[in-house]
Amino acid sequence: MTSTAADPTPRAGMFRALRVRNFRLYVSANLVSQTGTWMQRIGQDWLVLQLSGDSGVALGITTALQFGPTLLFSFYGGVLADRYDKRRVLMLTQAVMGVLALGLGLMVAADSIALWHVYLLALGLGVVSSLDTPVRQSFVSEMVGPGLLANAVSLNSTVFNGARLIGPAVAGALIAVSGGDTAPAFLVNAASFATTIAALAFMRVGELDRSTPVARSRGQLRETLAYTRRHPDLILAMVLAFTVGTFGFNSQITIALMAKEVFGLGAGAFGLLSTAYAVGSLSGALLSTRRSARPLQRFLIVSAVAFGLLLVVSGLMGHYIAFAALLVPTGAAALVFSVACNSFVQLGVEPQMRGRVLALYFMAFMGGTPVGAPLIGWVSERFGAPWGLIGGGIVCVVVAAAAGAVLSRGRRVRLELHVVPPSAHLHVAPARPPAEVAGLVEAADGAVPGEQTTRDPVR
């Protein structure tokens, strides 16, 4: 293993993680693959609306089936990540997802597709994706090492959202040129998986910063839950991730319904709205590349509140141009929160636990979608498309504000413990705080238990 991948010293530059050859290979291929994935998402949403007569509930059900398996299988993906060669596991999962995309494209091209077929294939894709995601996320740390992890996570999100910028626009134009036929979008996506498989195959295995494999044993889920309970900072991140993921990250439903119901527009305009959201997301991801350290808990809370407020304001926009313009800062806020939360979790766990804790995190982030997506679809259908945005935004703001209140209360308790009579002044905590204070310091500041801290408790 070379020092390039595992260099713990952060280096200057927005794209510093790209100096690692393996990560550079992976990111380049991932841009192509994610572009195809976004093309399929737009095509799938449009296909469901075609087959269901513009039903928001059908769109929500499809999304729920695709993300529902996260609750059942993500933890097993985390176990695979901690137990086996991540690179080989990813080659297998990427190949299976490519076959599923190919099957959907061929059925649409043959005009033999029905709504239940889309449901079934979305479910299959969701199962494989739930295994793939924890492995893929934890593999980033093996490519770049801990010193470049925060930057690599941000760059990975930048690529994801660069693809979101390209994919929907290309898919919308392709569907429009094809007279409403969504098959080309699915076939392009099927071919795109080959680039990721090739990149994984050509990596220099000796440069990967591999963690020690975890042996097969009973009770690994209980061990992961117990580990998370001992880290209040991880609990906070997962609560916020569940709330925002369930009620806020439903743009594939809300934007589609706004385009059709509120503005009366077609696939091309829908693709452009998705592109506007992606422009903001890409901006947010690029802003996040400047971060080299673990985010603060209060940053997670503020970014979640900002995202929720922007959702509410977006829902109040009654004009297409105004709505499209507001999607830019909304997408930026979404990605600033998402990248910060991901980095916060990855940089706060031990390497041997990273795969399983990340699996638990993604269960929280995406596991609520089976409830949130149909609920947002029903609210949009029952009360109007804008209320899908407004209602989701209100929930995000309320929960994040409540989390902020709890965090502030914990900080006030900590301040009281540091008042020293009779002068009643505040002082900086010593490098090794007393045992009875250490737990409160960790809970309020997000430090990993067992680590020393010299941070100012008044921070």
- The confidence band for 193, taking pLDDT boundaries of 50, 70 and 90, is very high
Q: Report the pLDDT value the prediction gives residue 450, as an integer from 0 to 100.
A: 35
Q: Report the pLDDT value the prediction gives residue 343, as an integer from 0 to 100.
A: 80
Q: Report the pLDDT value the prediction gives residue 214, as an integer from 0 to 100.
A: 67
- From the list 9, 239, 2, 30, the residue with the least C-alpha distance to 140 is 30
Tell me whether residue 261 is exposed, middle or buried, using C-beta atoms within 10 angstroms of its C-beta: 0 to 12, 13 to 18, 19 or more.
middle
- The confidence band for 4, taking pLDDT boundaries of 50, 70 and 90, is very low
- φ and ψ of 202, to 5 deg: -95, 10
32 has a pLDDT exceeding 80: yes
Residue 368 vs residue 249, higher pLDDT: 249
High-pLDDT (> 70) share of the chain, %: 82
pTM of the entire structure?
A: 0.64
| Angle at alpha carbon of residue 10, lines to 5 and 12, rounded to 5° | 115
The CATH number that domain 14-208+220-411 falls under is 1.20.1250.20
| pLDDT average, residue stretch 23-44 | 90
- φ and ψ of 457, to 5 deg: -65, -15
| pLDDT average, residue stretch 83-100 | 90
Q: Which two tokens stand for residue 67?
A: 């993300």
Residue 219 vs residue 172, higher pLDDT: 172
Q: Report the pLDDT value the prediction gives residue 97, as an integer from 0 to 100.
A: 93
Q: Report the pLDDT value the prediction gives residue 191, as an integer from 0 to 100.
A: 92
Task: For 407-436, write each residue's pLDDT tens digit.
Answer: 777 655 554 545 555 444 444 444 444 444
Compute the radius of gyration of the chain from its Cα atoms.
22
High-pLDDT (> 90) share of the chain, %: 17
Residue 182 vs residue 99, higher pLDDT: 99
Task: For 209-237, write each residue's pLDDT tens digit.
Answer: 776 666 666 666 777 788 888 888 888 88
- Beta-carbon-side half-sphere exposure of residue 429 (alpha carbons within 13 Å): 25
d(CA 391, CA 389): 6
Most confident of the following: 9-23, 40-54, 414-428: 40-54
Q: Report the pLDDT value the prediction gives residue 306, as an integer from 0 to 100.
A: 93
Q: Report the pLDDT value the prediction gives residue 245, as an integer from 0 to 100.
A: 85
Average confidence score pLDDT of the chain: 78
| pLDDT average, residue stretch 142-166 | 79
